[in-house]
Structure 1
Amino acid sequence: MEQLINYLLHFGHLNQQQIEMITSKAVIKTTPKDEYYHEAGRIPREIIFLLDGIMRVCYYNNKGDEITKYFLDENNFIADINSYNQGIPSTEYIQAITDCEYVVLSKTAMEELSMTIISWDAIIAKITAKGLAEKVNRISPMMAEDATERYLMFLRNFPTMANRIPLSYLASYLGITQSSLSRIRRNIR
């Protein structure tokens, strides 16, 4: 829980009473490796903060191919924010790549915190803006680079994740086949 509070404090001030309220509303849960935390077609009713592990966000294209959009590791909030805010079914899956432990804040808890803590909405707005900027920065450069450059960029931007993600998921994220990724890795060494 301390990780969550420390993260929140980067975005605004919280007094001890507010911190205690947040921790009273938060629940720690786990999802084992390879299990899905969230499936497409469901309406998200909570936001999570990843304490330990890596999750991947993916979807199926119109050909039925599974496509990895991005990965998230420790100290990140995870939510399909559009579906969560609008109360509509998600089009994405969220899968635990490793055993994952996270803090859950239900929609009800988020609303109660919003009504009770004056700075809560501003803190959440800053976190959301940061998350959206990171999402754009993660995806945009991928479009202009060749496969080797995309892989090298991934290694530069996410050095702690590279050895924790199965090659098939990394290849999907990079938009290449697993054999192409293996060839790129061999050529780099």
Structure 2
Amino acid sequence: MKELLTYILQFGNLNPAQIALVSSKATELHLPKEEYYLQAGQVARQFGFLVEGIMRVCYYNHKGEEITKYFIDENNIVVDLASFDNNLPSTAYVQAVTDCRLIVFAKPDWQDLLNIIIGWDAIVHKITSKALLLKIERISPLVAEDATTRYLQFMEKYPILVNRIPLVYLASYLGITQSSLSRIRKNIR
């Protein structure tokens, strides 16, 4: 819970009673590796914060191939905002790449925070704006560069993630086959 509160307090101030209220509405969720936090077609019912682990957002293209759009690491929010805010079915899958620990808020509890805490909506707006910017930054650069350059850029930008993500997911994110990624890694060493 400490990680979540530290994160929230970057975006605004809360008094001790408000912090206690936020804490009382939160629950901890353990998600084993490969489990889904959200699946396409489901309506998002939780607003989450990733305390430990790595998650990925993916979808299936028209050929039925699984495509990884981006990864989410520790100290970031996990929510399909369009689905959560508008009760729409999600178009993506959110899956645990590693064992994950999240702090989650059920939608009714999240709504209670919005109704009770003055200024909570402003904090949430700042949090979601930051999350959207990170999402745009992290979305796979499929056609911007050649595969080797994309891999090198990923290694440079996310050095902590590169050895924690299975090659199959990393290859999908980079828009290449796993065997191509293995060749690139071999040639770099």
TM-score range, shorter chain: over 0.9
Paired position in structure 2 for 1:161? 161
Q: How far 1:118 moved relative to its partner? A: 1.2
Paired position in structure 2 for 1:139? 139
Paired position in structure 1 for 2:53? 53
Q: What is the letter of the counterpart of residue 110 of structure 1?
A: W
SS at match of 2:95: strand
Paired position in structure 2 for 1:70? 70
- Deviation per CA, 1:99-127: give whole Å up to 9, x if none: 11100111111111111111211111111
Q: What is the letter of the counterpart of residue 113 of structure 1?
A: L
User: Identity over the aligned pairs, expressed in percent?
Assistant: 58
Q: Give the total of aligned pairs.
A: 189
Q: What is the letter of the counterpart of residue 2 of structure 1?
A: K
Structure with the larger helix share: 1
RMSD: 1.1
Paired position in structure 2 for 1:152? 152
Q: How far 1:143 moved relative to its partner? A: 3.5
Please give the alpha-carbon distance, in whole angstroms, between the structure 1 residues aligned to 2:142 and 2:131.
17
Please give the alpha-carbon distance, in whole angstroms, between the structure 2 residues aligned to 1:118 and 1:143.
44
Q: Which moved more, 1:66-75 or 1:131-140?
A: 131-140
Q: State TM-score, norm by structure 2.
A: 0.96
- Deviation per CA, 1:79-111: give whole Å up to 9, x if none: 111111111111111111111110011111111
Paired position in structure 2 for 1:116? 116
Paired position in structure 2 for 1:19? 19
SS at match of 1:144: coil
- Deviation per CA, 1:21-47: give whole Å up to 9, x if none: 000000001111111121111100111
Instruction: Give unmatched runs, 5+ long, in structure 1.
Output: none
Paired position in structure 1 for 2:3? 3
Paired position in structure 1 for 2:41? 41
SS at match of 1:179: helix
Paired position in structure 2 for 1:95? 95
Please give the alpha-carbon distance, in whole angstroms, between the structure 1 residues aligned to 2:5 and 2:78.
16
SS at match of 2:143: helix
Q: How far 1:140 moved relative to its partner? A: 7.0
Q: What is the letter of the counterpart of residue 103 of structure 1?
A: I
Give structure 1 regions of 4+ aligned residues with deviation exceeding 6 angstroms. Answer: none
Whether contact under 8 Å (2:71, 2:138) holds in the other structure is no
Q: What is the letter of the counterpart of residue 28 of structure 1?
A: E
Q: How far 1:77 moved relative to its partner? A: 0.4
Paired position in structure 1 for 2:105? 105
Instruction: Give unmatched runs, 5+ long, in structure 2.
Output: none
